Structure 1
């Protein structure tokens, strides 16, 4: 084996000693059992190929040389001509006069010393120990491959009629019909035999629990893995605009490629004419370009782009800044502005309110109510879903059901539908039981034989109804807290600025108790997150005093925490790393408090949906038993049912809560006090959210004048 070891090391110089020993053990233990090169490759080939850049052909050649070292007789057939026997030979008779020596050992010779026989039990034990050792080496010493990210796949049935129209290029329909399609994510089936019909000009809200495949469905449509008519333009707002020197307003205008090409051609023709060109055709073409620019109202485009940017929160100064100067959140807004400006035949929006403050959400709601083409939007914001969609699509149990009307109408219709289905199912069950009782009673009565037979046939023909599959209610539970004597938290004359000419706020005088349910609202950039960090002591105020009870223990949740979770471990392992020393049952119980139970708790974080990751972040935050929760945009990526559960959990919580959110329904559920950030100050306002919404709507009206 020494030769094999040296040979392996020469071929794979970067192989570590443990792995080399592992390969040597495999070869040593099976040296006499290999029939050919293929068996050597099956034993160690994949391991050798995995630690180098050698091709499969090269590794097979190395395996052939290893076989030659292990079993020279299999390759050294050139020692002499092969002999072909011309008659059978009785091998046992050949050993009649043969005695066993060091040089001659025969399987036909009787065993001389019974004491030298191997103990079968000891042999079995030794083999088991060797296998265990080999498995341990294999598990612990082989390089750990990076987790393979699963990918989504889609398949669908297309009609021959549509295929023919598409092939001829005569398909002009604006409606989208995707029938009998499946979507899987890795091994998990998300949709099976589903149908999706999008009528031109209607606005669809796509709803469903976290992790069922809403985002994946949008990606399958935008990537055209689900086939739709090729002439229909699609825009999926998913990735932020790339930051470069292009100013924000121009970045939006560039979406209109027809206008951009006409303007470029106008410049080229004008330059040619100014340089003395006498080509009369240029003058004619220039007139045509002017006519086309007038026809598409090119002169109004900058104003239209500016209105959209302004509605999404871009001030005139921001609109003239280069895109590279904006943060990721603002570049996502730019991507949304570009989509709204370009007006594709099908606009796909995935949680568009996540990146917006309340003022921008109200503007977007109003803007989309007049959207001229087809819209498909995934959202968890109930107020948005009550305002924008004309239809709701409900994704559940691997299919999609469509309901006319907004979310409120959908919820009422679905609830009534489920009640009717359950009543029908229960009525049929009673009928079946009554009929079966008759059959069982008179089965052996000759006089009732015909009646029994007809009842049996009737039961066989009855359609089999199934009970309504109720979605499991989401329950979130925050930990119990011990009371603290006031004062708990106080800000006196607090101010904060990054520089003298960039004051975030000043003269803030506010306080909170363990009974507080405070919601902070305001435009993006007004200082909401900065205020939270001052409250928790992460940032120090530049002036004023922050006073907190010595027993106050904050639990902080932000979307950044969700994004920064370790992606290659499961939820239980994540809690183990954050809070070591507890039992597996305690970690699982904590995750179960936030709806992460069963196999879900053992999936890698990377494979979870955004909402499921948020629940894991909640569980991690609460593992330290905080008595004051600071929640910065906690609803991003949560489904509607989980947001409802979050509101109920906050109301039951015995500690204090400060919440930054743009979700109107959650604010109305939990808010007892409203703090408004803006204009360099933070103030508590009377009248709650209703009063704040009136203020915002007045600002938007003034902005549009």
Structure 2
């Protein structure tokens, strides 16, 4: 402000003091209050015009522009804001004394005679002040309404050996194994990994497991975007984003991943066109021969069939493969992204919850396909059956580190349990030994004859390795509300048919029923009508034909597969429940969240900062706040960790009301469901047990592969 003040005084030498103070007051917050020089002119332009009759409007605008430039912080010191220098020492005590004792002198400053021609019209000054006030209020309002939730970003640090750095710099590092050693990952103030090691041997398939919110997805993202360094010659593909919808055909979208094949075909097309147009250059003929040889070497003619097999396995019919990508929904575009990754076969494939977007048939196909994966695979999954089938190794993320185990998830659980038992036994044995030695020391500490023995025992204690007690992960417990019994019939579908238009019915003549004891899972291919059937059951859609009978006291609790996306991300979990069910004590909201594992500080974090699994728990808590007696759950396991899926299964078993769910998690279905409703071929039929359904799916896959 010193610079602006001096500049105003130089440009307007006869400006009166109270006017000068007003202008300085307007400019005191610096460039933060003004987006550009035009806003400076709007704030003080009219006032300055009144001061100087010899300056044009353009002159005043130039002066405002100069003032705006002066207020901008120096870039070299941008972090700490503009440098402000006092032109003399300030003694606050003497200033305060002067203010009290020399009021007469102070008054004399303000009653000096001034040239009345330089005075500003009071009404114009008031008008300028009102205009500035209105602008500032408008800006602060805009900031409040438009400001999105600002999330902390993840950061990483990593130690690399000089040998590896030199090899990388010279281009001599040709290893296919990946070693990321002694690295840290933090998310804002929270440390996710500290001094961790991640070693991936080429050709092995790794399953990364751990509780929700510990940083599994963050770790994959950091590897893919280069924040954690790996040898530059290793190609990485991270299936995280869905394919962008455009006019490209689905099968062509997959084929385009093979950039070598695409570039050869493009060059072959260009040369052929030149030859056909009459160009007889023999060099073109040689190039064409060479391109055909390269295409033959990479088996380019087999690529469309290979792409079609992958797309078919992931549920794309021959007709769908010839459709433009923009015609598919987000879930199908994610399948396309997965198909592209499987087709291109990178050196390191990163998959984050690949089964979330797939139906059971596609999951079984993917499990079989990945068992023959030729390069390195790192997959985050909470599907127990998938983890028992695909990985050759399990990486367990916990306590800010990663432990590696050979074998699938079942073997990992056994090994980990045995390891923890041994560690606990070792810890208890050492504590007992320490206690025994300490008793001897305490007993003979002041006995001169035993002084040497006591000293040797003290040294013995000092040399013992310090063992820490085993940190047991807290058990996840979910609890659905208790319900009162209802007399049957509870829910009945009689001759129900439905279609979004009369020409194409999704299913016809459905005759099914449910009771308060029902544990029903709806299964079938994507698009077979599973979610549609759920909406008919809850009355969100009306049948095209037939009748739906629902008990008058039946109260549905609906968990949709998009439930998490519909949460307000700008508030914390307590505020979210408060807005949906107002008027209850804070303790009740916290108790409800606590029954779904969202307790302590977690309940006070913004929803946007929670992991996918934690958001799901918040969605469950909100659903159950209405005390439903019949649960309708559409893909409830998406984003949940293995322990929470297990807890969800236990909660469903103990729930005293009825349950209908759509799920592709084989372990959960086997645990809780007594009956399966199979959607497909224009009908819905009931079968008992998952084994029969899996047998039907495997038969269908086998017939497709022939």
Query: For this structure pair, what is the TM-score category when the shorter chain's length is used for normalisation?
Result: 0.7 to 0.9
Say yes or no: does 1:315 pair with 2:317.
yes
Correspondence 1:280-679 to 2 at 5 A: 280-679=282-681
Structure 2 Cα separation of the partners of residues 49 and 201 of structure 1 = 59
Following the alignment from structure 1 to structure 2, what is the Cα–Cα distance between the partners of residues 639 and 308?
A: 28
Task: After TM superposition, give the deviation of residue 561 of structure 1 in Å.
Answer: 1.3
Match of 2:33 among 48, 52, 57: 48
Q: Go from structure 1 to structure 2 and tell me whether the alpha carbon gap of 1:294 and 1:105 turns closer, same or farther (over 3 Å shift).
A: closer
Which segment is superposed worse, 184-193 or 535-544? 184-193
| SS of match in other structure, 2:440 | helix
8 Å Cα contact 2:149/2:608 also seen in 1:
no
Query: Partners in 2 of 1:53 and 1:520 — Cα distance?
Result: 63
Provide the alpha-carbon RMSD of the alignment: 2.7
- Residues 508-557 of structure 1 show CA distances to partners (whole Å, capped at 9, x for unaligned) of 00000111000110000000000000000000000000000000000000
Q: In the alignment, is residue 263 of structure 1 matched against residue 248 of structure 2?
A: no
* 1:704 corresponding residue in structure 2: 705
8 Å contact 2:31–2:71 — kept in the other structure? no
Partners of 1:314 and 1:501 in 2: CA distance: 23
Number of the residue aligned with 2:163: 161
Q: Cα offset for 1:360? A: 0.1
Give a deviation string over 1:379-427, Cα, whole Å, max 9, x none.
Answer: 0000000000000000001110000000000000000000000010011
The count of residues paired between Structure 1 and Structure 2 equals: 608
CA contact (8 A) 1:45 1:60 kept: no
Structure 2 residue aligned with 1:131: none
Looking at structure 2, the residues matched to 330 and 646 of structure 1 have their Cα atoms a distance apart, in angstroms, of: 27
CA distance 1:169–1:105, shift in 2 (3 Å): closer
Q: Which residue of 2 aligns with 1:247?
A: 249
> Structure 2: 5+ residue runs without aligned partners?
1-17, 41-64, 74-84, 89-93, 108-136
The two structures have a TM-score, normalised by structure 1, of 0.83
What TM-score do you get using the length of structure 2 for normalisation?
0.83
Question: Distance between the aligned counterparts of 1:520 and 1:444, measured in 2?
Answer: 77
Match of 2:125 in 1: none
For residues 557-604 of structure 1, give each alpha carbon's deviation from its aligned partner in whole angstroms, at most 9, with x where no partner exists: 012111110001000000000000001000000000000000000000
Distance apart, 1:447 and its partner CA: 1.1
Structure 1 residues 455 and 660: alpha-carbon distance in aligned structure 2, compared to 1, 3 A threshold: same
For 1:191, which of 155, 178, 193 is the aligned residue?
193
- 1:247 touches 1:323 (CA, 8 Å); kept in 2? yes
Cα distance in 2 for residues equivalent to 1:50 and 1:266 = 55
Task: Give the deviation of 1:146 after TM superposition.
Answer: 3.6
For each residue in 1:122-147, what CA deviation from the matched residue of structure 2 results, as whole angstroms up to 9, or x when unmatched? xxxxxxxxxxxxxxx9xx98953543
Flag as ranges the 4+ runs of structure 1 deviating above 2 A. Answer: 43-64, 100-106, 140-147
* SS of alignment partner, residue 359 of structure 1: helix
CA drift of 1:48 comes to 3.0
- The answer to whether the Cα contact below 8 Å between 1:48 and 1:59 also exists between their aligned partners in 2 is no
Give how far 1:209 is off. 0.3
SS of corresponding position for 2:499: strand
Q: Name the residue aligned to 1:103.
A: 104
- Secondary structure of 1:559's match? coil
Separation in 1, partners of 2:602, 2:676 = 37
2:172 is paired with a residue of what secondary structure? coil
What displacement does 1:53 show? 9.8
Contact 1:40 1:63 in 2 (8 A): no
| Alpha-carbon distance change, 578 to 451 in structure 1, aligned in 2, over 3 angstroms | same
CA distance in 1 between partners of 2:250 and 2:591 (Å): 49
Of 165, 170, 173, which aligns to 1:171? 173
CA distance in 2, matches of 1:229, 1:222: 12
